[in-house]
Amino acid sequence: MRIRVPRVLVIDEEGNKLGEFLTKDAVQLAEDRGLDLIEVAPNARPPVCRIGDFGQLKYERKKKAAQARKNQVQVQLKEVKVRPKTDDHDMDVKVKHTRRFLEEGNKVKVTVRFRGRELAHRDIGAQQCLRIAAACEEFGTIESPPRMDGRQMFMVLAPKV
């Protein structure tokens, strides 16, 4: 017995309110019926207890939690890497991949890598990012605009809901 208050409001297994009982009388009533006294609203005044099978309640909660986990959608972050000199056909392939990722409901991180003197032309990298975003605008929106981080430029696209 873990219910520490002196009086509780008791509800039977069909959901009918039986009234207010002393805790030990309520526990005895539940044991007479071959069931458990389960505290359902500990913050109420007086606390509300239900007569029922605690093992079955735990099983139903476990099943409900498993179902909620099963229905949960995991959004992944996919990455598409390009360079400032990436040619048109290669960009079309990257755009195709980006569209597919967005249609699947995943976020896409577009990365432009700069090497050597390419770092002086950050505007070309930003154009590459925005070019991919413009080609995929019916499937996704820009979540974070292009920004530099060391020798790389990043942009994140999120799927449209």
Ranges in the chain annotated CATH 3.30.110.10: 77-159
**CATH H-level superfamily of 77-159:** Translation initiation factor 3 (IF-3), C-terminal domain (3.30.110.10)
- Evaluate if pTM is beyond 0.85: no
Rounded distance, CA 100 to CA 76, Å?
Answer: 13
Taking alpha carbons only, the member of 130, 124, 135 closest to residue 97 is 135
Q: Does residue 73 have a pLDDT over 90? A: no
* Cβ atoms of 100 and 135 closer than 8 Å: no
**Cβ contacts of 46 within 8 Å, gap of 6 or more:** 5, 7, 8, 9, 20
pLDDT band with cut points at 50, 70 and 90 for residue 1:
low
Which residue ranges does the chain devote to CATH 3.10.20.80? Answer: 7-69
Amino acid at 123: D
Domain covering 7-69, topology: Ubiquitin-like (UB roll) (3.10.20)
pLDDT range class, residue 74, cuts 50, 70, 90? confident
Where do the DSSP E strands lie in 14-82?
A: 17-22, 36-41, 48-52, 77-82
| pLDDT at res. 71 | 85
pLDDT above 80 (res 79)? yes
Mean pLDDT across the chain, nearest whole number?
93
With a cut of 70, say whether residue 49 has pLDDT above it: yes
The count of other CB atoms within 10 Å of the CB of residue 128 is 22
End-to-end C-alpha distance for the chain, whole angstroms: 49
pLDDT in tens, 82-117: 999 999 999 999 999 999 999 999 999 999 999 999
